[in-house]
Amino acid sequence: MLRIVIVNDKMQYGYQYQLTELEGKNFSPDFKPELSPKEMLRLGVFGGKYMTDCQKEFPKNWFDRAKLSSEKSDANLNFFKIKASQSLGVWRAKGWINEEHDPRGWFQWYCRYWRGRRLPAEDTRQISRWKRIRRHATQVKKSCHHGDLTCRPRQRQALLHWAYDSRKI
């Protein structure tokens, strides 16, 4: 059965989308994220600032033990305790944001995709971006001893932001 989600938060008001797949299922065959949105929020991503005003849209249990900051981004909430992302303004300037559907960027797209929303053209674009981030995992593997979480922490944190589990490299 299709479900309609209506979004009313600081960045979108009255936006609607359909959930056409089961949560966490039926992903594109070339998209194999290693972390769920819930796991990412528990580990600490985006300085805890990413999801503070839009929690009603997502399952409540995603926010159990999530590392969030209602005031401002705090790198100490990130798993690697380091800032590893650019501002929303930079993302917009580079054309990485689909303002109509996901004005918060990749992670918002991923959360909605995980829940079951499918937008074929946007899904293809975002999965392509996700694949390109893999180069950072290759750099960590080439430069660090397996399991040395002190090696390349900024790249490791950035990989966490893209659902790659850099703790296992």
pLDDT of residue 1: 67
- Global confidence as pTM: 0.94
DSSP-derived secondary structure for 125-153: HHHHHHHHHHHHHHHHHHHS-TT-TTSSH
d(CA 119, CA 169): 32
Domain segments of the chain as ranges: 34-168
Q: Which residue has the tokens 């392509």?
A: 128
CA distances from 112 to 50, 98, 153 (A): 14, 13, 28
Per-residue model confidence as pLDDT tens digits over 14-43? 999 999 999 999 999 999 999 999 999 999
pLDDT of residue 95: 84
> Helix, strand, or coil here: 159?
helix
pLDDT of residue 96: 84
* Segments in the chain below pLDDT 50: none
pLDDT of residue 63: 95
d(CA 158, CA 85): 7
